[in-house]
Structure 1
Amino acid sequence: MIKNFIGKVSLCGTLLLAGTGMLTAQNKMDSKLPMDPNVRTGKLKNGLTYYVRHNEEPKDRASFYIVQNVGAILENDNQNGLAHFLEHMAFNGTEHFPGKGVLNYLEKYGVAFGRNINAYTNVDETVYNLSNIPTSNENLLDSALLVLHDWSNYLSLEGKEIDNERGVIHEEWRTRRSGGMRAYLEKSKVIYKGSKYAERDVIGSLDVIDNFDHKVIRDFYHDWYRTDLQAIVVVGDIDAEKFENKIKEMFAHIPAVKNPKERIYYDVPGNKEPIVGIITDPEVSNYSFEVFYKHKATPFNEKNMKYYRNSIIESLHSSILGNRLNELLQKGNAPFINAWAAYYNKARKMDVYHNSVTLKEDNLLGGAETFLKEIERANRHGVVATELERAKTEMLSSIEKQYKDRNKQHNDRLVRGYQRHFLVNEPVPGIEFEFEAIKKLLPGISAEEVNAFSKKWMTQENVIITFTAPEKENVELPTEQQLLALLEKVRNADLKPYVDKVITEPLISEMPKAGEVKKEAELNGFGATEWTLANGAKVVVKKTDFKENEIRLQAFSKGGNSLYGVEDLASAEMAGGFIANFGLGKFDQTSLQKLLTGKSVRVSPYISELSEGFSGNSSVKDFETMLQLVHMYFVAPRFDEEAFTALKGRYMAYVANMGADVNKAFRDSVSVTTTDHNPRTILFNTDMIASLNLETMKRVYQERFVDASDFTFVFVGNIDVEKAKPLIETYLGSIKDIDREETWKDNGVDYPKKDTYNHFAREMETPKTTIHIDLHGDIKYSRENKLMMSFVSSLLNKRYLEVIREKEGGSYGVGVRGYVSKFPREEYNLVIRFDTDPAKADKLKGIVYDEIQGLFKNGVKEVDLVETKKNFIKEYQENLRKNGYWINAINRYYTYGESVKSFEDYEKMINSITKENVEKFAKKYFAKTGKVEVVMSPKE
């Protein structure tokens, strides 16, 4: 859908249209949109729909999906939660893959659970995916299709497996039951009042989960997992015609369900008087005020040219309003933390115009009033022609970028379009058609037409108001009567039209004096060129064809906030993010964004612990603009006191109640414990925000970005090297050079000298124990040691999935991460973290340690090692065709001296690793290791 959230236009390939023939007469708004000509689609006699498309991004990979037009909305009360439970059961036995056969088979080929194998359930749909399947193995492709075949109609649903999965679902419920989630679920009951949507929250009733009879879930499966409600989607580097025939052969025999139950699409009833819900929770961390205006959704069979054109208008309006709200946030005493408004589809038969604002605790009603006035101003006086033209330009730029990258669209992104087409008849005519349509439709959309839409959205009836807040003493929340009175007050307020202020000057008024490339060298192994400019800056350029219309930037220099004392540390850490919100030169942030309208470009400065620099990206045509932005961040950064005050105030309001979030409390405990309460451990809280100082930020920033000679700039993407060279000489070669030599400083922040245990209890609404284990010690930094640590992490992930999640039903998931660091000192750390039932915490913690020791005491399982090797090789092959991988690889070369191995050399290195290698490594570093253990449990 062409929908706009928080003012940023997002054109998704699912709903762009176009077609020169269709648009010759704009009065044919009832015309249907064509199907993407690149996809082969059809329906079998048993009702099953399929979509098959050849696509080469990523190369030699394919994605396999089964889309079920089935979700929690179809559950009976005694099945509440079983749509989601059934999704889990698809990984616990099918006709051709008994037990954990689906995972066991696919992981032999490096297809990893979680990353490549996954699924989701929501209220209206359930979708399973096997992504990035290697296409070089025909048997593997056939087996992936066979998995979808089994998921369609041949789940085993064995009683033992069902019972084992109850604990996993329990722990998923526990992990997800944050204050924010509870508030969201309560809010849904208000929004969907009177509808079945108010009764279903996907994960369902624990009473049902714990006690349902096996027959109940089998009945749900038989009733709803059926061919007329299913679509098979295969997109990838395959022969599409061949796979279309395979689908016909493999799926045609599945019998259609006789006398099928009707797949009902539930209404959300209207309401004459506003429905108001005030929702509080002790673990909610912010104040949110929302107004929903409910509307009937466009029927599936009416999603035609008129529907598409309306979607464009909706997106333009949201973009304009988002920009206005963002403009308010740049002012000294910003009235709220953030806000947005958009018209979109929220349930199968309900659209909403959704206005949302996050408020400051000390000005709840005042912030809400300012927000509502801005919405009302746009509704009453409409949009200004100049801002509409900018929104059109932005939309056109976005679709043009997608069009230029049309041959580099990712498999899974294309799948989402076909998925929406199957589920709700969302048009999917293809990017070529879309690009032409947008160009033809935009000029005919007037400000008056956009304004008419807004007036239609804001109705007197079908209004829902929600207010979500922490449960906190001494804070008086608005009443239902006050919220209703506020809406009425704003409707009658005296509001002046919006004035669109634009600076017409160029970003750089006078071209800088260019420097020269003094030295040129080839970066062997990287396929890149290194230039040394006269001012000492190094520039590395690597041309790729992975994306037709993308150039990425990364720039770095040694130093970072390690060079500053504790008193300056908070300001130094936050300086990059703040200054990115100040604008550049003569342009404040609002003016700068208006200047950059229609340009696909982003540059963000950063200051981290050991370095400073920039990250960014641009389209091919906006490469020069990206260089100009970098130049200006060096020579004309802006230190806007009003914008600083506004952003600091928003941060202060944002963090004010973060302590109510038990997960934030736990993360803070981990931070201070693992660094032995070092004063340089700055927690993100009110004390930190209060200490921020603009003058300190200015001083730190100017010191970090004063000298080009110690910077390395890396550009990777579809870059014309010869055309780029004079531009780089102009914008980077002209930056000041003071020829200083700097490096970072080791401030001695380290783990506690002895094993440390921080076990604490905290009041919480949903009882859970959260466990964090950090094992650490000295190690020589090397590619081999990094690789072995990655193997250890992967092997432990497998073991914990098998033992803690599946066998014990003790956790939704155990996270394992292993690191080998070179700076500021050579050391390793292995981090394990998970949530669990307090009653199981000690037992599971023991299993965590036992499995680590088991790596060398019991030995590594050969099958696990082989699967890990396959996954590493598969992922490396995929990474070699990503701009993001190469830009980071070049960074590692300059930072750590690491080269890049060819795929063949990498494969050889991985395959040379034996179980004895891993066991020896594990014994060396984990038989005796430093330990930090942080455990948070509920107060009794």
Structure 2
Amino acid sequence: MPRTLRPPLLASLALVLLVPVLPVQAQTAPRPVQTAEDPWLYKGSDLVHDDEWKFGRLSNGVRYAVRKNGVPPGQVSVRVRIDAGSLNEQESERGFAHLLEHLSFRGSTFVPDGESKRIWQRLGVTFGSDSNASTTFTQTVYKLDLPTATAAGLDESFKILAGMMAAPAITQASLTAERPVVLAEAREQPGAQERLQDTMLGLMFAGQPVANRKPIGTTAALTAATAETVQAFHDRWYRPERAVVIVIGDMDPTVLEAMVQKHFASWRGKGPNPASPDFGKPVEGQPVAASIVESAVPPLAMMTIVRPWTVFSDTVIFNQKRMIDLVAVRIINRRLETRARSGGSFLAAGADLSDVARSANVTTVNVMPVGADWETALRDVRGVIADAQTSAPTQAEIDRELAEIESSMKQRIATAPVESGMKLADDLVEAVDINETVTTPEASYDIFKSAVAAKMFTPETVQAASKRVFEGTAVRALVNTHTPDPQLMTKVTAALQADVAGSGARRKALGDISFAQLPKLGAPGKMVSRTTLLPELEIEKVVFANGVNLLMRKDSTETGKVYVNVRFGGGLNALPADRPSPAWAGEMALTASGIGKLGQEELDALIGRRQMGFDFDINADAFRFGGQTNKEDLPDQLRLFATKLAAPAWDPNPVTRAKTAVLSGYAGLSSSPDAVLGRDLEKLLHSGDPRWGIPERGTIEATTPASFRKLWAPLLASGPIEVEVFGDMDSDATIKAVAETFGALKPRPARTAAAPAITFPAHVDKPVVRLHTGKADQAAAVIAWPTGAGSAGITESRKLEVLAAIFRDRLIDQLRSQAGVSYSPNVASQWPLGLTAGGKLIALGMVPPDKTDFFFQLARGIAADLVAKPVDADELTRALTPIKQQLIRQSSGNMFWMRLVEGGSYDQARVDAVDTLARDVALTSPAEVQALAAKYLQPSKDWSMVVMPGPDAKAGG
């Protein structure tokens, strides 16, 4: 990775970051392994090899790929893929592949039970994100992202990983300890979504193993598992011939290759290598329709066309033909979205092509109807598809899709030097799983260009693809409704057979759309001052005559990327706190409501061929537009944002669409403990303040396009503007572009009203109770303590992150690893800089209903212990080192620095705190952690809540 600037955080942390180097016993040089470079990935492919990867195969059959990559600096990412997932299980083993993944992380013959997590924490690894694993139908993948990797740390990590694969400690003791965690993970699945998925799999893959082989398994099989039966599953499938080791990072590839050879060459399989099971193929004669009644899931209709999954060679012509299919599907989806936006019979609809679990190639069409009328919605969607099959698209439609694909490919080429090693490793794992390859961005673009040059994308070829992708072995449909209908299955079958000719012929031709059609802005603004805020980071502040502030940083380390934020107005501080409002619809409808005379349809055409974004969210003290662009498109990205503020349009359709969408899924907000927390928790923690949480149904029903505009029009037009531009750009050109856009706006009136007060709820002797309608064996428990807010306490907020990390680690150990009560407990510290209050330290866990008291006893016990005595040095190191490493990794990107200083043009404390970040975190002491615990974790101030199953909860899920 080219580095033009070493961020001062890296240098500062280098002085205080004492990453322990694990002792490594003196060893003789590893026995040489006779291996020949083997580009095994490209067997049968004529694609250009990505020569940055070095491929090889050990004599025992282990395949590997290594590569140098410096994004983020110092990190090495390791992926170990085992070609075995839930489809490799026998009926009595359902869930064993996933269970074995859990057991492997506990320990092996090389590492005592639970010690691998602690070793990796000392090396800066965050449990659950930097060290993780996943089990699918077809594979189990172990993931390790090792920050600031040293030779010793990498050697120790490879030793642990190799032991996990070859000799995990599968004992009755470890099985007894980990089985409850896996059962807890299964228990915590949302019931309604689980039933929908089960029905969908059973219909789509009827007659195939994937129909009933979910990786989570069955309670019966997991309960009956013994150390011997799990060991037998391991010995059958965990073999070197079925393993792929991928290593990429900021280290010499020969060193990475030597690590693979040293630690994986001695691995030997036990017994004969079994043949992979037959995953079957779609067959005719199975049910063509299924229906469920789930009020917790929005009404929907799903149509699938299934075909046998075929292993094709990953060749140039194969990819070019697939591109034609992609263009056909994109055109259909664009037509469907146009209909949905204009107030059609469906809220959303889209088609997708996918290869699923090496079991079927599938075209899926998902339809979310307006209200309960799924029949009309499905008919209209099928009509759009039928129209695409009977009438060729225009060349203009095709060219629009090609232009957007080309823009995306060019951007990928431009940003390839800063593609993270983690993503490249994951992409390679995915390629191996589906028997495909990886190639360079340039080679992908060449394949695309040669297809265009050969005139492969014509109205005739795209029309043929529109037919081809909707043909197959069988067509099947699934419908979810909110009320029972005894005739539903008959209606679904009839809907698949209904004649839809002529019902999808409406097409909208946009013509040429250009930025010249955006509303005109005023004369360019004048720059009043230009100063350097942070010399080491080269962050500058520019003030314009109309009061607009620009914070910018020219930094080319992220080649081809420019991040733009526009903060305006007052955010949550400007919203009503004494009454419900239509603010809830802002993130869904504000950007979609258009600019000037251009609606969302036109805006999509305007920016689709460019590298631009248009996100909106609400911060504590500002509203924010955001987008990632590049140097060339930056002026128009800024113009897009500025004209939205100067001349917003108020298309009523996005408001109506947002309202209908939220109401259609509103019942789902009661369908699980997690959903109830998402709906109510933040509002409860702010003493009922309507600016937080999801509003009552009545508030959503009362929202109209007129009331939406009444709220948002003055919010868009008032309050300060701060523009932030960080990345690979030219500073002078950026100032000119801001002057011509935001600098040209009229001065905006300041907001004079004081921000509404924020209060944390009072202590309760008994937890606040909310009920859910999901599984009867699910509950949630929450406990929170008030802390602080505002930029004056930034240093304290950073040290609270350390306290939260220690608390979280203890809660995971005691609630999950030891008690097996919860799969995903968490503790977090929240300190809002833009508010005067509202900070909190919060702990929560999904637990069985009879274990909520146990959760509170455990959480309060941990809190009391943190108050009573300082943490020991090793525990502090295991909490601090991952935090420091996260900061180091994040600091290699411009977004990190932009987030640190955003709002800094009006709040100097945020800017000043940048220089103290490293020492605020790294020099946190046991005494400071204890003092913070004593200050904030007071029993008299905690607030608690439980979400329990209500009378409508469903036994057994």
SS of the counterpart of 1:345? strand
1:71 Cα deviation from its structure 2 partner: 0.1
Instruction: Decide whether the 8 Å contact of 2:673 with 2:947 is kept in 1.
Output: no
1:244 aligned onto 2:253: no
1:313 Cα deviation from its structure 2 partner: 1.6
The 2-side partners of 1:530 and 1:72 are apart by 56
1:458 aligned onto 2:467: no
Instruction: Decide whether the 8 Å contact of 1:669 with 1:934 is kept in 2.
Output: no
Q: Please name the residue that 1:39 is paired with.
A: 53
Matches within 5 A, 1:738-749: 738=748, 740=750, 742=752, 745-749=755-759
> In terms of mean alpha carbon deviation, does 35-44 or 903-912 score higher?
903-912
The 2-side partners of 1:844 and 1:571 are apart by 37
Among 160, 170, 176, the alignment partner of 1:157 is: 170
1:105 aligned onto 2:119: yes
1:856 Cα deviation from its structure 2 partner: 2.1
Deviations 1:441-496 (A, max 9, x none): 234222211211221222374112111234x4xx6476222122222223445653
1:676 Cα deviation from its structure 2 partner: 3.2
1:124 aligned onto 2:135: no
Among 822, 839, 842, the alignment partner of 2:850 is: 839
> In terms of mean alpha carbon deviation, does 50-59 or 634-643 score higher?
634-643
1:274 Cα deviation from its structure 2 partner: 5.7
Among 562, 583, 605, the alignment partner of 2:594 is: 583
TM-score by length of 1: 0.91
1:920 aligned onto 2:910: no
Q: Please name the residue that 1:872 is paired with.
A: 883
Instruction: Decide whether the 8 Å contact of 2:784 with 2:942 is kept in 1.
Output: yes
Flag the 1:307–1:730 CA change in 2: closer, same or farther, 3 A. same
Flag the 1:782–1:297 CA change in 2: closer, same or farther, 3 A. same
Query: How many residue pairs end up in the alignment?
Result: 904
Deviations 1:68-105 (A, max 9, x none): 11101011111111100000011111122221121111
Instruction: Decide whether the 8 Å contact of 1:42 with 1:51 is kept in 2.
Output: yes
> In terms of mean alpha carbon deviation, does 814-823 or 372-381 score higher?
814-823
For 1:877, give the aligned amino acid.
I
Q: Please name the residue that 1:485 is paired with.
A: 494
1:425 Cα deviation from its structure 2 partner: 2.4
SS of the counterpart of 1:616? strand
Q: Please name the residue that 1:22 is paired with.
A: none
Among 294, 297, 303, the alignment partner of 2:306 is: 294
Instruction: Decide whether the 8 Å contact of 1:265 with 1:348 is kept in 2.
Output: no
Q: Please name the residue that 1:75 is paired with.
A: 89
Q: Please name the residue that 2:774 is paired with.
A: 764
For 1:403, give the aligned amino acid.
I
For 1:891, give the aligned amino acid.
E
1:739 Cα deviation from its structure 2 partner: 5.1
Q: Please name the residue that 2:563 is paired with.
A: 552
SS of the counterpart of 1:53? strand
For 2:224, give the aligned amino acid.
N
1:529 Cα deviation from its structure 2 partner: 1.4
> In terms of mean alpha carbon deviation, does 435-444 or 556-565 score higher?
556-565
SS of the counterpart of 2:268? coil
SS of the counterpart of 1:496? coil
Flag the 1:209–1:405 CA change in 2: closer, same or farther, 3 A. same
Flag the 1:627–1:676 CA change in 2: closer, same or farther, 3 A. closer
Structure 1: tracts of 5 or more residues without a match: 1-29
1:162 Cα deviation from its structure 2 partner: 1.0
Flag the 1:510–1:668 CA change in 2: closer, same or farther, 3 A. closer
1:272 Cα deviation from its structure 2 partner: 5.0
Flag the 1:361–1:177 CA change in 2: closer, same or farther, 3 A. same
SS of the counterpart of 1:733? helix
Q: How high is the sequence identity, in percent, across the aligned residues?
A: 17
The 2-side partners of 1:257 and 1:378 are apart by 55
1:403 aligned onto 2:416: no
1:401 Cα deviation from its structure 2 partner: 0.3
The 1-side partners of 2:396 and 2:783 are apart by 56
1:178 Cα deviation from its structure 2 partner: 2.6
When the two chains are superposed, the root-mean-square deviation of aligned CA atoms in Å is 2.6
For 2:82, give the aligned amino acid.
Q
SS of the counterpart of 2:333? helix
SS of the counterpart of 2:566? strand
SS of the counterpart of 1:176? coil
Instruction: Decide whether the 8 Å contact of 1:583 with 1:637 is kept in 2.
Output: yes
1:897 Cα deviation from its structure 2 partner: 3.2
The 2-side partners of 1:521 and 1:209 are apart by 64
Instruction: Decide whether the 8 Å contact of 1:673 with 1:932 is kept in 2.
Output: no
The 2-side partners of 1:824 and 1:876 are apart by 24
Instruction: Decide whether the 8 Å contact of 1:515 with 1:730 is kept in 2.
Output: yes
Flag the 1:493–1:142 CA change in 2: closer, same or farther, 3 A. same
The 2-side partners of 1:567 and 1:903 are apart by 36
Deviations 1:301-358 (A, max 9, x none): x222222112212222222222111111221x33122111012211314101111112
Among 191, 194, 202, the alignment partner of 1:189 is: 202
Flag the 1:740–1:570 CA change in 2: closer, same or farther, 3 A. closer
Matches within 5 A, 1:621-660: 621-655=632-666, 658-660=669-671
1:86 aligned onto 2:100: yes
Instruction: Decide whether the 8 Å contact of 1:117 with 1:130 is kept in 2.
Output: yes
1:614 Cα deviation from its structure 2 partner: 1.8
Flag the 1:837–1:410 CA change in 2: closer, same or farther, 3 A. same
Q: Please name the residue that 1:802 is paired with.
A: 813
For 1:160, give the aligned amino acid.
A
Flag the 1:636–1:494 CA change in 2: closer, same or farther, 3 A. closer
Structure 2: tracts of 5 or more residues without a match: 1-43, 952-957
For 1:298, give the aligned amino acid.
T
Instruction: Decide whether the 8 Å contact of 1:859 with 1:915 is kept in 2.
Output: yes
Instruction: Decide whether the 8 Å contact of 2:766 with 2:944 is kept in 1.
Output: yes
Matches within 5 A, 1:463-482: 463-470=475-482, 472=483, 476=485, 479-482=488-491
1:238 Cα deviation from its structure 2 partner: 1.0
The 2-side partners of 1:477 and 1:439 are apart by 54
Flag the 1:244–1:743 CA change in 2: closer, same or farther, 3 A. farther
Q: Please name the residue that 1:233 is paired with.
A: 246
Deviations 1:244-302 (A, max 9, x none): 233223322212444211012412332157621112345x32112111111122315x2
The 1-side partners of 2:577 and 2:867 are apart by 42
1:536 Cα deviation from its structure 2 partner: 1.3
1:748 Cα deviation from its structure 2 partner: 4.6
1:727 Cα deviation from its structure 2 partner: 1.6
Flag the 1:735–1:268 CA change in 2: closer, same or farther, 3 A. same
Q: Please name the residue that 1:856 is paired with.
A: 867
Flag the 1:194–1:778 CA change in 2: closer, same or farther, 3 A. closer
> In terms of mean alpha carbon deviation, does 388-397 or 873-882 score higher?
873-882
Instruction: Decide whether the 8 Å contact of 1:529 with 1:541 is kept in 2.
Output: yes
Q: Please name the residue that 1:51 is paired with.
A: 65
Q: Please name the residue that 1:13 is paired with.
A: none
1:927 Cα deviation from its structure 2 partner: 3.3
1:791 Cα deviation from its structure 2 partner: 1.4
SS of the counterpart of 2:229? helix
1:603 Cα deviation from its structure 2 partner: 2.4
Instruction: Decide whether the 8 Å contact of 1:522 with 1:528 is kept in 2.
Output: yes
SS of the counterpart of 2:430? helix
TM-score by length of 2: 0.90
1:924 Cα deviation from its structure 2 partner: 2.2
Matches within 5 A, 1:228-377: 228-272=241-285, 275-281=288-294, 284-300=296-312, 302-331=313-342, 333-377=343-387
SS of the counterpart of 2:65? strand
1:513 aligned onto 2:526: no
SS of the counterpart of 1:358? strand
1:735 Cα deviation from its structure 2 partner: 0.7
Flag the 1:594–1:65 CA change in 2: closer, same or farther, 3 A. same
Among 679, 690, 695, the alignment partner of 1:684 is: 695
For 2:926, give the aligned amino acid.
K
Instruction: Decide whether the 8 Å contact of 1:628 with 1:731 is kept in 2.
Output: yes
Deviations 1:104-163 (A, max 9, x none): 11111111111200000011111011014323x210111222222112212121220111
The 1-side partners of 2:319 and 2:691 are apart by 54
> In terms of mean alpha carbon deviation, does 853-862 or 904-913 score higher?
904-913
SS of the counterpart of 1:601? coil
Deviations 1:16-69 (A, max 9, x none): xxxxxxxxxxxxxx9622321110001112111000001111111110110111
Instruction: Decide whether the 8 Å contact of 1:706 with 1:736 is kept in 2.
Output: no
1:226 Cα deviation from its structure 2 partner: 0.5
The 2-side partners of 1:765 and 1:827 are apart by 32
